[in-house]
Structure 1
Amino acid sequence: MTRSASLPFYMRALLLLCILLSPSLHAQEMDARIMQLFPKATRIEPKLEQPPVYSVFQLDELIGYAFESNDYSNLQGFSGKPIRLLIGMDPQGVLAGVQVLEHHEPVFLHGLGERSLLDFVDQYRQKTISKPIIVGGRQGAAEGESVTRIDNVSKATVSVVILNETVLLSALTVARQLLEDFASSPLATPKMDVYEPLEWSQLLERGLVQRWTLSQEEVEAAIGHELDGYPQLDLDQPAFTDMYFAYLNAPIIGRNLLGEAGFQRLSEELKPGEQAVLVVSSGTYPHVPEDFIPATAPNRIVLVQNEHAIELHDMNFNNGAVLDVLNSPIEEAEANVFRIKAHAAFNPAESTQLRLIAQLQRNHLVENNASFTRDFPLAPELFDILEPVEAAKPVPIWLRMWQERWWQVSLLGLSLIVLTGVFIWQHRISRERRAFHLFRAGFLLFTLVFIGLYAQGQLSVVNIFTLLLALAKDFDIRVFLMDPVIFILWSFTFVTLFIWGRGVFCGWLCPFGALQEMLGWVAKRLRIRQWKISERTHLRLQWLKYLILIGLVPVAFYSLTLAERLAEVEPFKTSITLFFARSWPFVLYALALLGLGLFVHKFYCRYVCPLGAGLAVLGRLRLFSWLKRIDACGKPCQHCRNHCEIGAIRRDGRIDYDECIQCLECIVILNNEDQCVASISARKKAYKTGKQTDLIATDAALPST
Structure 2
Amino acid sequence: MRILHLVLCWVLMTGAALAAPLDRDQIAAFVVPPYALGEPVNDKGVWSLLNSGGAEAGYVFETAIMAPLPGFSGGPINMLVMLDLDGRFIDVRLISHNEPIFVSGLGEAPFRKFLEQYRGHSINTPMVVGVPYGDAGAGSGLVYLDGVLKATASVRIAHESILAATLEVAREKMQGIKSVPPATPDPAHDEALDWQALVDQGIARHLRVTNAELDAAFAGTIWADDDPEAQADPQGLFLDLWLVDIGPPSIARAVLAPDALTDLNRFLSLSPTEEPLLLIDSGRHGLVSADFVRNTAPDLLGAEQDGLPVALRDADMIFDTLPGVPEGTAMILRSDRRLGFDPARDWTLQVKAVREHGMFQPEIGSTTFTLAAGTPERFFLRAKPVEALPQWLEAARNRAPDLIALALLLPVLLLALGPGMNRLSGHRHFTAIRLAVLAGMAGFVGFWGQGQLSIVTPLAALRTASDGGSFAYLLYDPFSLVVWAAAVLGFVLWGRGLFCGWLCPFGALQEFAHHLGRLLRLPKIELSVLWDARLKRVKYLLLAGLVLTVFIAPDRVDTVAEVEPFKTAITTHFMREWIFVTYAGFWLVLGLFTFKGFCRYICPLGALMAIGGLLRGRDWIARRKECGSPCQLCKVRCNYGAIAADGKIGYSECFQCLDCVTIHNDAKQCVPLVLAARGRAMRKRAAPVAAK
Same fold, judged at TM 0.5 (above): yes
What are the residue-to-residue correspondences of 1:49-128 with 2, within 5 Å?
Answer: 52-70=46-64, 73=67, 75-91=69-85, 94-125=88-119
Residue number among 597, 617, 620 corresponding to 2:591 in the alignment: 597
Partner of 1:153: 148
Q: What is the rounded CA distance, in whole Å, between the counterparts of 1:615 and 1:167 in structure 2?
A: 35
Q: Map residues 473-552 of structure 1 onto 2, 5 A cutoff.
A: 473-474=467-468, 476-552=470-546
- The structure-2 alpha-carbon separation of the partners of 1:392 and 1:663, relative to structure 1 and needing over 3 Å to count, comes to same
Calculate the TM-score normalised by the size of structure 1: 0.62
TM-aligned CA deviation for residue 695 of structure 1: 2.6
Structure 1: 5+ residue runs without aligned partners?
Answer: 1-21, 189-206, 208-303, 310-345, 351-378, 386-390, 701-705
Aligned equivalent of 1:404, options 398, 403, 408: 398
- Number of aligned positions between the proteins: 492
1:558 alignment partner AA: I
Whole-Å Cα distance in 1 between the matches of residues 655 and 35 of structure 2?
63
Secondary structure of 1:45's match? strand
Residue identity matched to 2:423: I
Q: Distance in 2 between matches of 1:186 and 1:615?
A: 50
Which residue of the partner structure matches residue 434 of structure 1? Answer: 428
Q: Corresponding residue for 1:646?
A: 640
Q: Against the structure 1 CA distance between its residues 31 and 653, is the aligned structure 2 distance closer, same or farther, given a 3 Å change threshold? A: closer
* Counterpart amino acid of residue 623 in structure 2: R
Q: Over residues 467-518 of structure 1, what are the superposed CA-to-partner deviations in whole Å (9 max), with x where a residue is unaligned? A: 2223333253423222112222223322321331111111111111111111
Q: Which amino acid aligns with 1:161?
A: R
Q: Please tell me whether residue 459 in structure 1 is matched to residue 490 in structure 2.
A: no
Change in Cα spacing, 1:349 to 1:83, as seen in structure 2 (3 Å) is farther
Question: The residue matched to 2:51 in structure 1 has which SS?
Answer: strand
Instruction: Report if the CA contact (8 A) 1:93-1:130 is conserved.
Output: yes
Give the one of 638, 659, 663 matched to 1:669.
Answer: 663
> Are the structure 2 counterparts of residues 691 and 517 from structure 1 closer, same or farther at C-alpha, using a change threshold of 3 Å?
same
- 1:427 & 1:26 partners in 2: Cα distance? 58
Question: Does the CA contact (< 8 Å) of 2:130 and 2:146 recur in 1?
Answer: yes
Query: Cα deviation per residue 1:353-397 (whole Å; 9 max; x = unaligned)?
Result: xxxxxxxxxxxxxxxxxxxxxxxxxx9559999xxxxx9999631
Q: Distance in 1 between matches of 2:501 and 2:73?
A: 27
**Equivalent-residue separation in structure 1 for 2:140 and 2:115 (angstroms):** 22
Contact kept in structure 1, 2:514 and 2:592, CA below 8 Å: yes
Partner of 1:606: 600
User: Partner amino acid for 1:535?
Assistant: V
Contact in 2 for aligned 1:641/1:647 (Cα 8 Å): yes
Q: Which amino acid aligns with 2:337?
A: N
Q: Look up the equivalent residue of 1:467 and give its one-letter code.
A: A
- C-alpha contact 1:43 1:58 (8 A) present in aligned 2: no
For 1:307, which of 338, 347, 352 is the aligned residue? Answer: 338
* Contact preservation (8 Å) 1:571, 1:590: yes
> The residue matched to 2:94 in structure 1 has which SS?
strand
Shift of 1:164: 3.1
Instruction: Check conservation: 2:642, 2:653, Cα contact below 8 A.
Output: yes
Output the amino acid matched with 2:582: L
Distance 1:348 1:653 in 2: 82
Separation in 2, partners of 1:65, 1:306: 25
Separation in 2 of the partners of 1:645 and 1:636? 20
Structure 2 counterparts to residues 164-563 of structure 1, below 5 A: 164-168=159-163, 170-171=165-166, 183=178, 306-307=337-338, 380-381=377-378, 396-426=390-420, 428-430=422-424, 432-474=426-468, 476-563=470-557
Maintained 8 Å contact 2:37/2:48: no
1:54 alignment partner AA: S
What SS does the aligned partner of 2:451 have? coil
Deviations 1:242-262 (CA, angstroms, capped at 9, x unpaired): xxxxxxxxxxxxxxxxxxxxx
Measure the CA separation in 2 of the matches of 1:348 and 1:415: 54
- The letter for the 1-side match of 2:645 is R
Deviation of 1:636 (Å) = 1.7
Between 594-603 and 63-72, the greater mean CA deviation after superposition: 63-72
Contact 1:44 1:57 in 2 (8 A): no
Contact 1:52/1:71 (8 A) holds in 2: no
Classify 1:26/1:529 alpha carbon distance in 2 versus 1 (closer, same or farther; 3 Å). closer
Greater relative CO, 1 or 2 (CA 8 Å, sep 6+): 2
The answer to whether the aligner puts 1:660 opposite 2:691 as a matched pair is: no
**Percent same amino acid among aligned pairs?**
36
> Can you give the 5+ residue segments of structure 2 that lack an aligned partner in the other structure?
1-18, 184-248, 250-334, 346-375
Give the TM-score of the pair, scaled to structure 2: 0.63
For each residue in 1:553-598, what CA deviation from the matched residue of structure 2 results, as whole angstroms up to 9, or x when unmatched? 1121212221321121111111111111110000000000111011
- Preserved contact between residue 520 and residue 601 of structure 1 (Cα < 8 Å): yes
Mapped partners of 1:94, 1:106: distance in 2: 30
User: Deviations for 1:628-653, whole angstroms, at most 9, x for unmatched residues?
Assistant: 11122222222222221112122222
CA shift for structure 1 position 600? 0.4
Cα pair 2:451 2:483 within 8 Å, conserved: yes
Q: Secondary structure at the match of 2:542?
A: helix
Change (3 A) 1:383 1:67: same
Q: Is the 8 A contact 2:130 2:395 kept in 1?
A: no
Q: Compared with structure 1, are the counterparts of its residues 44 and 448 closer, same or farther at alpha carbon in structure 2 (3 Å cutoff)?
A: same
Q: In the alignment, is the contact (CA less than 8 A) between 2:417 and 2:424 conserved in 1?
A: no
Shift of 1:599: 0.0
Q: Which residue of 2 aligns with 1:32?
A: 28
Distance, in Å, in 2 between the alignment partners of 1:395 and 1:53 is 31
Q: Residues 669 and 481 from structure 1, CA distance in 2 versus in 1: closer, same or farther, beyond 3 angstroms?
A: same
Hey, what's the Cα distance between the residues in 1 that align with 2:636 and 2:685? 32
What SS does structure 2 have at the residue aligned with 1:660? coil
CA separation in 2, counterparts of 1:51 and 1:515? 48
Would the alpha carbon gap of residues 438 and 100 (structure 1) be closer, same or farther in structure 2, given more than 3 Å must change?
A: same
Q: State the Cα deviation string for residues 529-576 of structure 1 (Å, max 9, x = none).
A: 211322222122212212212222112121222132112111111111
Write out per-residue CA displacement over residues 445-473 of structure 1, whole angstroms, 9 at most, x where no aligned residue.
12111111111111112222122223333
Q: What CA distance in whole angstroms lies between the structure 2 residues aligned with 1:591 and 1:68?
A: 40
Q: 1:383 to 1:594 in 2, by over 3 A?
A: same
CA contact (8 A) 1:501 1:620 kept: yes
> Which residue is equivalent to 1:617?
611
Q: Structure 2: how far apart are the matches of 1:162 and 1:532?
A: 45
What's the C-alpha RMSD, in Å, of the aligned pairs?
Answer: 4.1
Q: What displacement does 1:680 show?
A: 1.9
Which residue of structure 2 aligns with residue 163 of structure 1? Answer: 158
Alignment partners' CA distance in 1, 2:37 and 2:447: 50
Task: Indicate how the Cα distance of structure 1 residues 552 and 185 shifts in structure 2: closer, same or farther if over 3 A, else same.
Answer: closer
The code of the aligned residue for 2:511 comes to E
- Does the CA-based 8 Å contact 2:124-2:179 persist in structure 1? no
AA aligned opposite 2:647: G
Any idea what SS the aligned residue of 1:561 has? helix
Query: Retained in 1: the 8 A contact 2:501–2:655?
Result: yes
